[in-house]
A = this chain, B = another copy of it.
Amino acid sequence: MRTIQNVQAMRAWSREARKEGARIALVPTMGGLHAGHLSLVEIARRHADRVVASVFVNPTQFDRDDDFAGYPRDLARDQRLLAEAGIDVVFAPKPAAVYPEGAVTFVDVEDLSVLLCGAHRPGHFRGVATVVTKLFTIIEPDVGVFGEKDYQQLAIIRRLVRDLCLAVEIVGAPIVREADGLAMSSRNTHLDTPGRAAAVCLSRALLAAETLVADGEHDGATIEAAARAAIEAEPLAKLEYASLVDAEALVPVTTMIDRGVLALAVWVGKTRLIDNQMLVAKAASAERRSA
Contact = CB atoms under 8 A, between A and B. Distances in A.
Interface of A: 7, 11, 15, 18-19, 97-100, 103-112, 129, 133-134, 137-138, 140, 159-160, 162-167
Contacts of A167: 11, 137
A111 B111 CA distance: 23
A238 to B, nearest CB: 31
B110 A159 contact: no
Given A103-B162, A105-B163, 11 more contacts: A11-B167, A15-B18, A100-B162, A100-B163, A103-B163, A104-B111, A105-B164, A133-B164, A137-B137, A137-B164, A137-B166
Contacts of A19: 19
Contacts of A133: 164
Contacts of A164: 105, 107, 133-134, 137
B98 A109 contact: no
Q: Which of the listed residues A7, A99, A164 has the most CB atoms from chain B within 10 Å of its own CB?
A: A164
A108 B109 contact: no
A7 B165 contact: yes
Nearest to A12: B167
User: What 4 A-B pairs come out closest when comparing CB atoms?
Assistant: A105-B163, A104-B110, A103-B163, A105-B109
Given A7-B165, A19-B19, A138-B165, A105 B98 contact: no
Nearest to A139: B165
A19 B19 CA distance: 6
Nearest to A15: B18
Given A19-B19, A137-B166, A105 B160 contact: yes
Contacts of A98: 165
A84 B104 CA distance: 39
A138 B167 CA distance: 8
Nearest to A7: B165
